[in-house]
Amino acid sequence: MSKKLKDENAYDYISIKKGSIAYELERYQDALNIYKENLNKKGSSPVGQLNLKLGLVKTYINLNKPDSAYIFIKSGLKESQESRFREHEVHFLIQLGLIYIDKKKYSEAKSTFDKALLIAQNIQSKNLIIDTNIKISRLYSIQKEYDKAILILDSLIKKEAASNIPVETLSEIYYLLAENYKSIKKFSESNYYYSQFIEKSKKIGEKRIEAIDHLHKIDINEIKERENEQKKQNWILLGLILFLILVFVRFLLKRRKDSIQNQIKFEELMFKIKKFEHQAHIKVDEQEQSTDFLSEELEDHMVEDKFELEQVQNPIMPIITDLDDEIFIEKNNLEDNNTESGEDANSQFVIKDTTRIEILEKLIKLEEKKLFLKQDFTLHNVAKRLKTNTAYLSKIVNNELGKNFSTYVTELRINYIILELKNNAKLRSYSINAIAEEIGYKSPESFTKYFKIATGISPSIYIKKINQMLEDEKK
């Protein structure tokens, strides 16, 4: 309950009490573990820390580890004296006396017990006085001073009514009296105290059995609670695993679907590239040295205007990917949004044929120099290079090429990089960021977006499939 209520003080207190019960039931290792777990916990009171150390001392003594016990006795005595906790000082002195007895240092044990008895009498603690006297009587018995031991034990019974003495303590007194009377061959008195000891021991046994039974029931309840909690956690874990499996399966299916779609898009793109390369090869045979050709729209206009194709030595690059004007408006390259959107192209003014042809020829020369790969290849800058104005340039591109300037630039870049990546292994080893910079994009995100919309696949997938295709061809 204290754990559920998150009451740490209550939890620590109860935990220590569980250690005390384990000690009384002679489960010394369990007691030791509990005491160690709670030792030096933050927030523990000085009294609580002393109780823990005292529990450790008693447990170590019963586990026959006097040296470990002595360490805590030493620190416990020091803290007790500094804090003036006299009762704790008596307890630690008693345990120290027992260690001296174990080491057969009887004089040191006697002086230690006498010191403890004096403090107990000063603070008028009846239980500590009785406990200390019992330990002194044990010392006398070990030293075979049986009469002295019997005198102390008899005085304890006479001074305190038996009903006022705890049954465990009274049982110990009766046992010591029986043993001491037996040692001096007073068997009737010895038998009497043995019978008293057995009677009290039965009561202690009943209490112990009752305590063990109660603890067993608590353990069973805790086990059941843990089992229920474990079952609950198992169901949650199972649900989570099933959910993750479902997500993973969906991911695999989507990945498979994407892979198939990417392959289809790639094959379509490769078909367009081969078609273009075939057309380019024919043009080379006809002595038309060019990597581009006029779009059908531009060619129709040029025929209507009696502009001979043979006079144009560097026709505009053919469209491998046909981009949508409404989508491909690169805002970073626009200096006048109204001009790019085609308003000037539809404005009421006429451009002379000679001017139109001159601008187109100059535009082709800029393409030949691949100036469209620079970031500053904007409508304003290009118009400035061609010694015309943005309105004229915008209208010519719109009317002759059937697209706005931004789309025109994007097509040039994407078409260029598609072919270049196919034929240039070194370029394929570049990062997407580096490739984007190579063709005039300020960010890899913009490049990837335009490439994917134009081709249906991302640049990275395109590069991967080109490499796979070339590997398969080698095999």
The domains of the chain are located at 8-217, 296-474
- pLDDT tens across 406-415, in order? 999 999 999 9
Q: Bigger pLDDT: 290 or 406? A: 406
What is the mean predicted confidence (pLDDT) over 287-307?
40
Q: How confident is the model at residue 332 (pLDDT cuts 50, 70, 90)?
A: very low
Q: Rounded mean pLDDT of 277-283?
A: 74
pLDDT above 70: percentage of residues in the chain: 83
Q: Which of 87-91, 156-160, 380-384, 431-435 has the lowest mean pLDDT?
A: 156-160
Quote the pTM value. 0.46
Please give the structure tokens belonging to residue 102.
């174990």
pLDDT single digits (tens) 140-166:
999 999 999 999 999 888 875 556 788
Kindly state the tokens that stand for 321.
């990917």
As a whole number of angstroms, the distance between CA 225 and CA 218 comes to 10
| Tokens 């040191």, residue located | 108
Q: What is the mean pLDDT of residues 370-397?
A: 91
For the chain, the three-class secondary structure string (H helix, E strand, C coil) is CCCCCCCHHHHHHHHHHHHHHHHHCCCHHHHHHHHHHHCCCCCCCHHHHHHHHHHHHHHHHHCCCHHHHHHHHHHHHHHHHHHCCHHHHHHHHHHHHHHHHHCCCHHHHHHHHHHHHHHHHHCCCHHHHHHHHHHHHHHHHHCCCHHHHHHHHHHHHHHCCHHHCCHHHHHHHHHHHHHHHHHCCCHHHHHHHHHHHHHHHHHHHHHHHHHHHHHHHHHHHHHHHHHHHHHHHHHHHHHHHHHHHHHHHHHHHHHHHHHHHHHHHHHHHHHHHHHHHHHHHHHHHCCCCCCCCCCHHHHHHHHHCCCCHHHCCCCCCCCCCCCCCCCCCCHHHCCCHHHHCCCCCCCCCCCCHHHHHHHHHHHHHHHHCCHHHCCCCCHHHHHHHCCCCHHHHHHHHHHHHCCCHHHHHHHHHHHHHHHHHHHCHHHHCCCHHHHHHHCCCCCHHHHHHHHHHHHCCCHHHHHHHHHHHHHHHHC
Q: Calculate Rg over the CA atoms of the chain.
A: 50
pLDDT at position 340 is 42
Any idea what the Cα angle at residue 12 is, between residues 11 and 17, rounded to 5°?
95
Query: What pLDDT, in 10s, does the model give residues 365-377?
Result: 999 999 999 999 9
Does residue 300 have a pLDDT over 50? no
Contact of 171 with 199, CB cutoff 8 Å: no
Q: Which of 135-149, 216-230, 350-364 has the highest mean pLDDT?
A: 135-149
- Which of 265-274, 313-322, 461-470 shows the lowest mean pLDDT across its residues? 313-322
Residue 327 in this model has a pLDDT that exceeds 90 = no
- Indicate the pLDDT class of residue 87, thresholds 50, 70 and 90: very high
Rounded average pLDDT over 291-301: 39
pLDDT at 234 over 80: yes
User: Any long-range contacts for 180-185 (C-beta under 8 Å, 24+ apart)?
Assistant: 180/137, 180/141, 180/146, 180/149, 180/150, 180/153, 181/150, 183/141, 183/144, 183/146, 184/146, 184/147, 184/150
Least confident of 48-62, 269-283, 387-401, 455-469: 269-283
Share of the chain above pLDDT 90, in %: 46
pLDDT at 289: 45
Q: What does the alpha-carbon distance between residue 186 and residue 188 come to, in Å, rounded to a whole number?
A: 6
447-456 mean pLDDT? 91
Residue 343, pLDDT above cutoff 70: no
Which class does domain 8-217 fall in?
Answer: mainly alpha
Domains 8-217 and 296-474 alike in fold: no
**pLDDT surpasses 90 at 117:** yes
Task: Inform me whether the pLDDT recorded for 276 exceeds 50.
Answer: yes
Which of the residue ranges 12-21, 279-288, 402-411 would you say has the lowest mean pLDDT?
A: 279-288
* Dihedral in degrees, nearest 10, Cα atoms 330, 331, 332, 337: 120
Asked if the 296-474 domain carries CATH number 3.90.550.10, the reply is no
Q: How confident is the model at residue 100 (pLDDT cuts 50, 70, 90)?
A: very high
Lowest mean pLDDT among 80-84, 93-97, 256-260, 282-286: 282-286
| Inter-residue long-range contacts of 396-402, CB under 8 Å, 24+ positions, other chains counted | 396/351, 396/356, 396/359, 396/360, 397/345, 397/363, 398/342, 398/345, 398/346, 399/301, 399/345, 400/297, 400/298, 400/301, 400/356, 400/360, 401/295, 401/297, 401/298, 401/316, 402/295, 402/297, 402/298
CA contacts within 13 A on the Cβ side of 232: 6
Q: What is the pLDDT of residue 426?
A: 92
Q: Is the pLDDT of residue 249 over 50?
A: yes
CA distance linking residue 377 with residue 101, whole number of Å: 100
| pLDDT > 80? residue 12 | no
Q: What is the pLDDT of residue 371?
A: 92
Count of CA atoms in the C-beta half-sphere (13 A) of 376: 4
